[in-house]
Structure formats: C-alpha cells, structure tokens
Structure 1
Amino acid sequence: YNDAGAQIANLAKSTQAHVRASGGAPLEIPDGGYHGDYIREIAERYVAQHPDDAAGNDLDAMQAFAVAALRHEQDLDMQAFGVKFDTYYLESSLYTDGSVNKTVEGLKQSGHTFEEDGALFLRTTDFGDDKDRVMKKSAAKGGDYTYFVPDVAYHVTKWERGYHRAINVQGADHHSTITRVRAGLQALAIGIPKGYPDYVLHQMVTVMKGGEEVKISKRAGSYVTVRDLIDEVGRDAVRYFYLMRKGDSQLVFDVDLARSQSEENPVYYVQMAHARMCGIFRVGEIDAATVTGDGVDLGVLSEPAEQELVKQLLDFPATVKGAADNLEPHRIAAWLLETARAGHTWYHKHHVLGEPEAITRARLVLARATQLGIAAGLRILGLSAPERM
C-alpha cells in the first residue's frame, strides 16, 4: 500500500496547506500537489481531531492522518465492489525494516550499478531496458530512492514469503515499471525467474453521463469513486462493465447504458437470460434441481437455435481455462453475452412446456444447462444470477 514516497509527501504538504489556510493563511498548494476539495475535507477533520496542531506544523502527523483517511475511503470502495484484501503491505515498512537498503546493497554487490553526477544508477540496459535508470537521486536533488526501488524490494519479500506466482494489476501508466522491476530482480541473481512478476495493465476509464464525459483527475479534485458508480448503477453493472473489455483496451463507462433495462445493456441482457430460464421451471412448477439428462433423448434438439445454444454451452470449459491461463476475464463476459443471445433466441423461437414429451424433456435439460452455465459464468465474475427480473 502506497504510504511513502514523493506522492505521499505531496499529499502531506497539500493537507498542510489547507490546514494553514483554514487559519487564515493564503492557500499555497505545492508543485505536484493535490487541489481537490477532498484534501480540504481531510484538513478540516485533521484540525478537528488535532486542536493542538491547528497551525499545521506537524507534517508527519498530517501525512499519517491523510494516508489513513484515503485508505479508509479506498477500503469502502473495495467493500462496495465486493473485493477483500487479505493483507495490506505498507510501502513504508520496506524502509523501516531495512528491506530497501538490503536490496540496494545486493544490487551494488551484483555489479550492475554505477554512480554518475552524484546519483546511483542501475544498469537496466543489461536486462533489455532502453536506458539505465536512476535508483537514488543525487544529494542536490534530495537523495531519495526512485519509485521502482521499493517495488523491487517488495517483490523480493513476496518471493521469499513463498508467492512464486504474482500478478500485479496496475494502470497503463506503470508500463515502464515492468522492465525496471524485473531488471532489478534479475540483477540480484537470487533465483527469481525472468518473467516474475506477471502484470495486467489497465487503461484509464472514461465515464460518460448524459452524453458528456465526467472528468476524472485526482490531483485536480474532480473524480468518480467506485462507490459513486455503484450508487448510480449497482455493483453487478459496475463489475461487468469493468470486466467486459480486455484490460489494455479503452473502457467508456456509460452510466446511462448501465442503468437501462434493455438488451443494449449487456449485464441486464445476461441476467435476464438466466431469469427466463428460471421462469420456465417456475411456470411449469418443476424443481429445476431434479432435471438431468438421464434417460433423455437429446438428439431431438435439432433446431438451429438449439444447436447454437448447445455449441455455446459446450464452449464454456475451454473459455474458463483460456481466461485463467491468459489472465483475461473478459473472455467469460463475452461468453456470457453470446450465450445469453443464443438463449434469448431459443426462448423466443421454441416452446419448452406443452410440447410432445420427448421434446419437452430434452428442452428442459437444455434450459437447465443454460441456467447453470450462465449462473456459473456470473458467479466467476462476482455477479448475481437473479431468478426474477
């Protein structure tokens, strides 16, 4: 968890500027600082809870307070989204427990570092980078470690803790981090494989509402939280929209579409297909759990719409495996949409109940298989499978 480094220092200084402004001083946000109203709100809460520092002199206390406040907000977002982290690993602990210094010493001993103009460099070009990278700035520039150094230290600890398969999910602006972190891990020569860790990079999301883009900028202060989206359209829609595109492709989150109850809304369309299958059993007063293929002649499912639906269902295991192997959950979202489309088509074209017994029994099996398949796909993506809509 990012609670150290240059960005956190700017967060603390931005909070300090608002604390001092609340006492009558001019508001002076530092270069690279944060301008949003949420910083002002954090500053107001800090003053309320730290009346002995209304002048804003204790920068360390303000930093700890601001980090904790934003961590709390992010935790609420994750809870609303249905995501639970088992462990938070604080970046600051990598400095306090000596992991960063140990990693830097290991890199020096590896022979892949050099000094130039007072700065310490890592020869990342030895491992495929386009140029060597600064590890530690010169004293004239603050003498701080650059951001990828604690990242290398963190992944060393992760490897040592037994996590030999690691998948980092990050924004596309972290693309250069991949080469640098992997270079650092290889330079240490401690047995970590070249492709460690895996990365899944996501593009920024464009949020549209009422035909206009909702601007998102943390530093400018105008941003949309996950909870905002969930409040607008519900958790299922937010999760599906985020998962329906490959991570590195641009996502336009259309709030109006996500709220609509129409076949243009993919999550509504998929869940409606599941509800329709459930409705068949409800209308027929049949316990769906008792429906199996035992003794049923499935050969009577000869209509083109039935054949297409069967084909979609048979693709499910391979789709799940491909999604897992390639870290591409959007494959399951796409399968759900295609299966829902096939299911709706079959539902509209062919009756299940009231047909000759052999056909009804076979179509009940197909309805049950479709119900189970869609429910399984939704469950993998963390979505609900409503029985009525």
Structure 2
Amino acid sequence: MNNMIELAKQQVKETIMNALGRLVAEGKIEAVPLPAFNVERPADVSHGDFSCNAAMASAKALRNNPRAIGQMIADAAVLDGTVFEKIEVAGPGFLNFFISPLWFNETVGEVISSGSDYGKTELGKGKRVLVEFVSANPTGPMHIGNARGGALGDSLSSVLQFAGYEVEREFYVNDAGNQIEKFGKSLSIRYMQIADGNKSDVIASYGDDDVCRKIFEDEENFPMPEDVYKGVDIIEHAYNFYKINGDKFVNADEESRKSALVEYALPLNIDGLEKDLAKYRIVYDTWFRESSLHKSGAVKQIVDMLTDKGQTYEKDGAIWFKASDFGDDQDRVLVRANGIPTYFVPDIAYHYNKLVTRGFDKAIDILGADHHGYIARMKAALTALGVDASKLDIVIMQMVMLVRNGETVKLSKRSGKAITLSTLLDEVPIDAARFFFNLRDPNTHLEFDLELAIEESSNNPVFYVQYAHARICSILRRMEEEGTGYSNIPVSELNFNHPAELALIRHIAALPNCINEAAKDYNPSKITKYLCDLAQLFHKFYDNCKIKGEEENILQSRLSLCVATKTVFKNLLDLLKVDAPEKM
C-alpha cells in the first residue's frame, strides 16, 4: 500500500535535491554540503499542499539570501513525472508545492483498491508488543476507571496492529497477596453474619443493598472492620456459599474458612470479569496469574538475582533494593522482616517474564493516575537486572467523572454501591462507551456525559460519525436502485475540482500518518478525532457537491469518493470495535 502523503513528501525532497544538483552543474551555486531541511503540510492550503524550508536552511552555506535561493530552486525544478503542478516562492523563501489533480485521483484509487487494508502501515513490522490493561482486582467488579482502561487498551492494541506490530493483549490476575487475604477476611465475616442466628431467610433479599446495609451495620457479634471489602458482591458470595454449605464452616478455623470462601468466590469473580469484558468486545490472548509467579519460584528468583548482583542490603530484618542507585527517589523493601515479599517483587518478576522470558520487544502497561511513582521504581529494577528499561512503556490514565444533567454522579461508599462496567453498559450503548472513553488523551481527565452518550444528534460524536457512514451507504444504495450505481472507473478518468472534494481527499490521504502518530504516542484519541473531522468534511462535501443528475463522469467520481470515504469510516470504526451501521 502507498502512503500518498509520504510519497508526495519524498518527491518534494527529490525535486529540490535534483534542482540543487542542476544549479551546481550550471555553476550557479557552490558545491558545498547543505544542511537538512523540512517538508511540512501548511494548515492553509492556499500556501500550497507542502511547504519546504530548503532555501532558508541553505542560506548560510550558499552565502545568499533565502528568497533568491528559493527562486533559483523553483526555476531549476522539473515537475514532470511528479504529483505536483507548480511551485511558488513565498515569504522569506518558503518553497510551496501544489499538488496536481492526478494525486487526488490516485489517492481515491488507492483507498478503493486497498479496501479493508487502507491505512495500515509497517511502522512496527517485525516487533512484538504486549499490551497489559485493565488488570482489575479480582476481588470485586470492575469500576468506571477499568471501563476507560479497557476501551483505551483494546483500541491501542488495534492501533498498534494496524501499524504493523505483532500485538498480544494480556490481563494480569492479582490472585495472590494482601488483596486476596483481605477478600477472604471480608467473605468470612459476611458468612459468619449470615450463619449467626440462622438469618438466611432474611438475607434472601440481599439483592437490595439498602436492606443488606440495615441488616449488617448494627451487627454486634461479627462487626465489619475498616480494612475489609464492604460491597454488595461480598454479601452475595457469602450468602450463595452459605446456601451450598450451610453451617459447615462456622466452627472451622479462620484460615480454613477463608480459604474455602476464596476458593469458591475468586473463580466466579474472574469468570465475571472475563464475561463483562467480552460483552465490552475485549478478548485477551492471555490471562496471566500472579500466583503462577509464586508457584514457579520466579518471585524468589528476582530477590536472589538482585542480591547476587549486589543490589540489595539488609536493614531492620528486611531486604532492601538499592533503587535510588538507578533513578528512583528512594530504596524499596523487597522482603519484609517476616519473610513475606512486598507486592513489588512479583511485579518485577512479571515484567521480567514479559521482556526476558517471553522476549517481547515492548511491554506497555495501562495504569491509573495513582501509579506515577511506579514507573521509576519498575524501570530501576529492570535496569538493575540488566534489562533495557526503555522496553517498558507505561501509559498513565487519568480519572473519569460521570455527569448526568450537568451534575457529577455521586457514588455511595457507605452502601458499597458504585457504577461498574456492567451497570454502565446497561445504561449506555457499547459503541458510545468505547468511543467516548477514547475521546481524550489518556493522560487528561475525562468527563463522561451519560445523557450525551445516548443522544441521537450531531452533538453526540459517535452518533455523528456513525450517521455519516450510514448516509454514504444510503446514497450508494439509492443510486444503485435508480440504475446509476457506482462503477469502478479508471483512476485517470476521475474528476475532482470542488474545494469540498479536495479537502475530503486530503484528509483521507492523511490516515496512514494518523495511524503512525497514534501508535507512536499510544493515543487512540487521535483516531476518534480523525473520525469526527472525517464526518464533518463528508457532510460538507454532501451539502456542496450534488451527485444525482450530474453528468456521468462527475457522478462516478463523486460516488468513487463516497466509496473511499465509506471504506475509511468502516476501517477505523472496526479498529475501535464500534459498529458501522448501514442504516440509522
């Protein structure tokens, strides 16, 4: 596939270098080394489709004023065989290149011939990337931040695949450590509350979290301490466990009871996460369990490796990592005085597994805003282990604020009620959720308007984009029914002259570069912005360029442009896993 923008840029450079060569051969300029120059796309197309600063960059070496150098280059330039029709010298010496009609024709032809592959690039060819995202705590349902992380991570993975990378999606299951201990403790207390006084008949109304709160808030025998999970999901698990086992674990020791409850509830939670994410159109290549790192000895191995390299020391009975020697702001505890590793050690082992054991060229983590400090310590650990820390990139994702009727939606911590991914998708279409969560740069706060997300108007960006795609389908369908449908005429016969046509084609041509920028910046919001701009440009084209009743050449050219635009909409909506409806 051809990148029409980059091909044109390359021709600009070749045209200028050839012109400079002629000027040297004719003795009009000196044969001296010249500095590099830039080729840009001006915001205002009246200044040309491409602008080059070669004359200004060469002024000092050629000992002449830029304007004069620019005019010499323009006079010596040969445009035959290029996609340009003229060069103008502007301002202090800018060389402005204007594209010929042939380029617009070939761009439309390129899109139509490439079809579903249009926009794909080879930026990451031969490179393996692992994208880890969501990795929600399996002790409870996914919250609204996980919803943003899911849409972001999955769409970023698709962008990277479109840019030529070999991508795998991974969910890291935190099924070991303090949070599992806390999970077991929470379940155990709820189980004992339910069993106490045989209240199971009363608990049958557990679906109403307010009833649950009233039942358990004043519980005297088994009070809920602060360091436990108080969500309704914990009550549901404990109650369902009680229905199966009755009082069997009432007199068991605490550890046995917790273990049995975790063994029952944790797989249900993980299965629930997988089902909720599948509903959200996210399917992972791997569900990687933290517990596997402990069982394999990989966690202990990390401590041993750092110790063997002289990067640890003992203090107050604990083993510390000399993180400050590798750019972190302080040293970090690896193993507590009681012999239990901190959460940092399995995290190091996990990233070592990604980059060394499995050999990925790049590991990308999508993490919440509270993980800024995590970056330096993890890169410090990898460096200490002899791993190239630049292979780890961490995308920090800011908070989401839900808004309804112009007011922030409040979440009740007291009752354990929150808007989860599942409940969000019951209220908001999946298309809207995935699109809205990718409307902003990951590192900016996102205001999610619940009403706007379901509004069927041009104010709703996903509706606006989908409507543009449906409108094109309607045009093509209607013209086909009337006997003047699209026919794939030769590129040389296409005819585009109207400014609205040319603006739309210029935008279509920019897609491969947009894909590369989104991949380099780890920012799928560049894709949603591109789609919104594409919709706006198409609607302007539709309003200004009549199709029905035009002479055959104009009619087929404009239908060809419709087909090309429809292809771009479909490719990018598919990339975001958002539907591209043919009727609305």
Paired residues for 1:304-319 under 5 Å:
304-319=499-514
Match of 1:381 among 576, 579, 582: 576
| Superposition map of 1:102-121 within 5 A | 102-121=301-320
Q: Note if 1:15 corresponds to 2:187.
A: yes
Question: Residue in 1 aligned with 2:146?
Answer: none
Instruction: Return the offset for 1:84.
Output: 0.8
Instruction: Give the match for residue 174 of structure 1.
Output: 371
1:197 aligns with 2:392: yes
Q: Identify the residue that residue 564 of structure 2 maps to in structure 1.
A: 369
Bigger drift between 101-110 and 324-333 goes to: 324-333
SS of 1:53's partner is coil
**Paired position in structure 1 for 2:290:** 91
Q: Residue 269 of structure 1 corresponds to which residue in structure 2?
A: 464
Identify which of 258, 272, 283 aligns with 1:59. 258
Relative to the length of structure 2, the TM-score reads: 0.62
Mark the runs of 5 or more structure 2 residues left unpaired by the alignment: 1-172, 197-219
Greater CA deviation, 286-295 or 51-60? 286-295
Q: How far apart are 1:289 and its partner, in Å?
A: 9.9
Q: What is the DSSP-based 3-state SS (H/G/I as helix, E as strand, rest coil) of the residue aligned with 1:70?
A: helix
Q: 1: CA distance between counterparts of 2:538 and 2:486?
A: 21
Of 202, 224, 228 in structure 1, the residue corresponding to residue 423 of structure 2 is 228
Could you list the per-position Cα deviations for residues 15-47 of structure 1 after superposition, in whole angstroms to 9, with x for gaps in the alignment? 111111112364433433211111111111222
Q: Shift of the alpha carbon at 1:117?
A: 1.6
Choose from 377, 384, 388 the match for 1:187: 384
Out of 490, 493, 508, the residue aligned to residue 294 of structure 1 is 490
Indicate if the aligned counterparts of 1:94 and 1:153 stay in contact, CA closer than 8 A.
Answer: yes
AA of the residue aligned to 1:267? V
2:280 is equivalent to residue 81 of structure 1: yes
- 1:29 pairs, out of 214, 224, 228, with 224
1:157 partnered with 2:329? no
Deviation, 1:218, is: 8.0
Which secondary structure does the structure 2 equivalent of 1:31 belong to?
Answer: coil
- Pair 218,136 (structure 1): closer, same or farther in 2 beyond 3 Å: farther
Equivalent residue number for residue 144 of structure 1: 340
Structure 1 residue aligned with 2:116: none
Residues 110, 295 of structure 1: alpha-carbon distance in 2 compared, 3 angstrom cutoff: closer
Question: Letter of the aligned partner of 1:170 in structure 2?
Answer: L
Whichever residue aligns with residue 382 of structure 2, its letter is L
Per mean C-alpha deviation after superposition, the further-off stretch among 302-311 and 373-382 is 302-311
Taking the aligned partners of 2:428 and 2:195, their CA distance within structure 1 comes to 40
Aligned to 1:209: 404
Distance 1:125 1:49, change over 3 A: same
* Aligned positions of 1:312-351 closer than 5 A: 312-351=507-546
What is the CA-CA distance between 1:229 and the residue it aligns to?
1.9
Amino acid at match of 1:243: N
Instruction: Indicate if the aligned counterparts of 1:182 and 1:196 stay in contact, CA closer than 8 A.
Output: no
Paired with 1:264 and 1:5, the residues of 2 have a C-alpha distance of 46
- Relative to structure 2, which stretch is displaced further, 227-236 or 370-379? 227-236
Partner of 1:124: 323
> Structure 1: which amino acid aligns with 2:421?
V
CA contact (8 A) 2:195 2:242 kept: no
Provide closer, same or farther for how the CA distance between residues 221 and 87 of structure 1 changes in structure 2, counting only shifts above 3 A: same
Is the 8 Å Cα contact of residues 148 and 177 (structure 1) preserved in structure 2?
no
What's the CA shift string for 1:139-171, capped at 9, x where partnerless? 3xxx43222210111122222122232111221
- Pick from 133, 138, 146 the counterpart of residue 332 of structure 2: 133
1:291–1:368 CA contact under 8 A, matched in 2: no
Distance 1:199 1:292 in 2: 46
CA contact (8 A) 1:136 1:145 kept: yes
Residue 3 of structure 1: CA displacement? 0.7
Q: How far, CA to CA, are the matches of 1:386 and 1:333 in structure 2?
A: 17
CA contact (8 A) 2:402 2:448 kept: yes
The amino acid across from 2:476 in the alignment is F
Gaps of 5+ in 1: none
**CA-to-partner distance for each residue in 1:225-271, whole Å, 9 max, x for gaps?**
22222221211111111112111111111111000001111000000
- Percent pairwise identity: 36
Correspondence for 2:233: 38
- Give the deviation of 1:67 after TM superposition: 2.1
Deviations 1:23-80 (A, max 9, x none): 2364433433211111111111222233322567411122233322321221121011
Quickly say closer, same or farther: Cα 1:217–1:79, change in 2 above 3 A: farther
One-letter code aligned to 1:20:
M
1:107–1:219 CA distance, 2 compared to 1 (3 A) = farther
Q: Separation in 2 of the partners of 1:291 and 1:178?
A: 55
Larger displacement relative to structure 2 (161-170 or 255-264): 161-170
Maintained 8 Å contact 2:480/2:486: no
